[in-house]
Amino acid sequence: MAEYHGQIQLALAGFYDVLTAEGKTFRTRARGNFRKKSLKPLVGDWVTFSAETATEGYILSIDERKNSIVRPPVANVDQVIIVTAVKMPDWSSNLLDRQLVALEEKSIEPVIYFTKTDLLNSEEKKMFATIADGYRQIGYQVILPEEAFDETSLDQVEQLLADKLTVLMGQTGAGKSTLLNHISPALNLATGEVSQALSRGRHTTRQVALINLFGGFVADTPGFSAFEVFDMPARELGQYFRDFNHFSSNCRFRGCVHLNEPGCAVKEAVAEGKIMASRYENYKLFYDLIAGRRPVYNKHDKKH
């Protein structure tokens, strides 16, 4: 039986479609020993598989992953476009910073794309221009369209996609599928209308698949409104705030967590307007959230 190597493009009901370097797609299943090892192949995984026909393959091994995310379950992600609504659902710096920290922890490069900018009045537009500039100064790429899904912003997204595996994430109703439909109208992905009463969307995406777009792969994925509680210990949280890292080496105490310590360069930078106040407030909230939770014992222990 011939052996091949390729990347999983689609995971659905226990089947995995794998694309080889030669451009052939094989439908495969995972061997039973993966289950015994609690190993589950993910979309984005590079795998070795055997196949007699294009529809009867078996995955033999999974290459080491560069990274993986849980929601959506995708491996080897190069960048995440965080689709962030300015309204409907309401703008939340807390949610955006939560997403940024979670991605920093996995060493995945974030891009922030603001949607629904057509709903802003002129004052609100100025406010979001300031917010966008704040995140740019931290070192993030930020796309704030003049008009919703305008050509300039879509061109920027297209250029970002080449040669990368990109995930779009954000709250349900923020406009992930709509953004993809604008980039490639032929996709015609099902978009969910936001229920105004609840300001929550319906889940419209039921599988994880990679879509070949502009020389790269994009995962269209279910929306979600929050990450699970952070994995890192509270004392390490600060290192995932890029803006803090510019100043933290000047803190008086090594291991300063930027809360009550004297001579804290991060708090000084916040007071001087060099770090966004909203970022520092969110940091304190996240710190309390992590510090206040129950201890997490060995994550690899079986859950009962």
**What are the binding residues?**
115-118, 170-178, 251, 256, 258, 264
- The answer to whether 286 and 101 have CB atoms below 8 angstroms apart is yes
* Known binding residues for GTP: 115-118, 170-178
Q: How wide is the angle at C-alpha 145 spanned by C-alphas 137 and 213, nearest 5°?
A: 100
The number of helix segments (H) and strand segments (E) in the chain equals 8, 13
Q: How far apart are CA 83 and CA 177, in angstroms?
A: 10
What are the structure tokens assigned to 133, written together?
């500039």
Closest CA relative to residue 117, chosen from 107, 106, 125: 125
Cα 278 from chain centre:
21
Closest CA relative to residue 69, chosen from 35, 33, 28, 110: 110
* Known binding residues for Zn(2+): 251, 256, 258, 264
Cα 124 from chain centre:
26
